[in-house]
Chain A
Amino acid sequence: MNQDLYQFALRLADTSLTMGQRLAEWCGHGPYLEEDVALTNVSLDLIGHAQMFYQLACDNSETSTSPDDLAFLRDVPEYRNPLITELPRGDFAYTTLKQYFIDVYHLHLYQQLSVSSDEQLAALAQKALMEVKYHLSRSEAWCQRLSLSTEEAHEKMQKALDDLWFYTPELFETDESMQRLMTASVIPDMGAIQTVWQQQTEQLLEDCQLAKPENGWMATGGLVGEHTEHLGYMLADMQFLQRAYPGCEW
């Protein structure tokens, strides 16, 4: 069970870390000053969540490790985030819609995890949930404003949706390890999370007059460490310092 929880904690942590890192790339590039501050606030929240979940992973690890080791010393095949979170940040519409999809996912996932049979996981999920609720109110407000404003903004949102939609089912994938955790009520039924996620996001897309693409090719791979080429570049950027100067602190 410890090994299963270790893997799942990595899934949560890697998801938040890659989201946080992509948002951090907006620092100094936000569409205007106030939004620049807001984007990096959310980025830091997510990196904070990653740190908590890496600690949970460490507490369930068979070998001695630290949150920093897990973040900075693992290579691409060891990362367990779904592919959607590692995609390049794109334009502001793309970042916004991706954030919205992940916020809704986190909302329902953390709500259920906060009643997990694992007390530590439940407490961490509850803590993250509070911040996620705020993230969602932001990303939802932005989706509505961008989609329902100018033709150009609406087009960019539609384009982002056409691209991102195929990465969303992967959020709810499970493997044998997760299924054991589901049986033990450590984690919720991901199928049920997917159902509420779909209801909520499809309602927003409709309100935003965005056309959901027909289901077709669907991305997969994160759970078994098969990633897009983008993750390698992200890790190179993020891990450079620890790789070049092992153990360095400041």
Chain B
Amino acid sequence: MSEMKLYEVFIRAKSGLNHRHVGSLHASDPQMALLNARDVYTRRKEGVSIWVVEAEQITASNPAQEHEWFDPAEDKVYRHPTFYPLDKEVENM
């Protein structure tokens, strides 16, 4: 187990949708991570495509900075595209 690395797993549920993060697993290398992800995360037909990313390769924001980074967006409703009428013909917005 000491040789194992942590991989994050992303699954595309069906064609046209985004890959979404579903969890993580341990594997010796990217190919084994893919095989293990297939068996651990798609046993119940959850997806049609898998991405695996070595967890170490992900650059993440600092949880300590959560408030200064994200709270200022809270009271800026004008950033949401809700202040203009949509044509009737436009569906699925």
**Main secondary structure on chain A at its contact with chain B?**
helix
Contact residues, B1-33 vs A (CB, 8 A): 1, 4, 25-29, 31-32
Bound form: Cα–Cα A34–B1 in Å: 11
Question: Of the candidates B29, B31, B36, B43, which one forms a contact with A35 in the assembled complex, judged by CB atoms under 8 Å apart?
Answer: B36
Task: Check if B26 sits within 8 Å of A138, measured CB to CB.
Answer: no
Chain B stretch 30-51: residues in CB contact (< 8 A) with chain A: 31-32, 35-36, 38-40, 43
Chain B nearest Cβ from A30, distance in angstroms = 11
Bound-state CA distance A41–B43 (Å) is 8
> Nearest B residue to A42 by beta-carbon distance?
B39
CB of A141 within 8 A of CB of B36, answer: no
* Distance in Å: Cβ of A29 to nearest Cβ of chain B: 15
In the bound assembly, the distance between CA atoms of A137 and B39 in angstroms comes to 12
Contacts of A41 in B (CB 8 A): 39, 43
**Which one, A32, A37, A141, A145, contacts B39 given CB within 8 A?**
A37
Q: Given that A32-B1, A32-B4 are contacting pairs, would A38 and B31 also be in contact in the complex, using a CB cutoff of 8 Å?
A: no
Pair count A-B, CB < 8 A: 30
- How many chain B residues sit at the interface, stated as a range, is 10 to 19
- Nearest residue, chain B, Cβ from A31: B1
Task: Specify the chain B residue showing the minimal Cβ separation from A38.
Answer: B39
Question: In the complex, which residue of chain B has the Cβ closest to the Cβ of A138?
Answer: B35
Check A145–B28 contact: CB distance below 8 A.
Answer: yes
Interface string of B40-69 (1 = CB under 8 A from A): 100100000000000000000000000000
Evaluate contact between B1 and A37: CB separation under 8 angstroms.
no
Complex formed: what's the CA distance from A37 to B39 in Å?
Answer: 7
Contacting residues, chain A, for B38 (C-beta < 8 A): 134
Once bound together, how far apart are the Cα atoms of A188 and B65, in whole Å? 67
Inside 8 A of B28's CB, which chain A residues have their CB? 145
Over the window 60-95 of chain A, the binary record of Cβ atoms lying under 8 Å from chain B Cβ atoms (1 yes, 0 no) is 000000000000000000000000000000000000
Chain A residues whose CB sits within 8 angstroms of the CB of B4 once the complex forms: 32
Is B43 in contact with A34, judged by CB distance below 8 angstroms? no
| Contact (A32, B26) CB under 8 Å given A137-B35, A138-B35 | yes
B44 to chain A minimum Cβ distance, whole angstroms, is 11
Alpha-carbon gap, A71 to B40, bound state (A): 29
Known pairs A34-B27, A34-B40, A134-B38; list 18 more (Cβ under 8 Å).
Answer: A32-B4, A33-B26, A34-B26, A34-B39, A35-B36, A37-B43, A38-B35, A38-B36, A38-B39, A38-B40, A41-B39, A41-B43, A137-B35, A141-B31, A141-B32, A141-B35, A145-B28, A145-B32
> Which of A's residues lie within 8 Å of B, judged by CB?
32-35, 37-38, 41, 134, 137-138, 141, 145
Can you list 16 A-B contacts with CB-CB less than 8 angstroms, sorted by A residue number?
A32-B1, A32-B26, A34-B25, A34-B26, A34-B36, A34-B40, A37-B36, A37-B39, A38-B35, A38-B36, A38-B39, A41-B39, A134-B38, A141-B32, A141-B35, A145-B32
User: Measuring CB to CB, which residues of chain B are less than 8 angstroms from any residue of chain A?
Assistant: 1, 4, 25-29, 31-32, 35-36, 38-40, 43
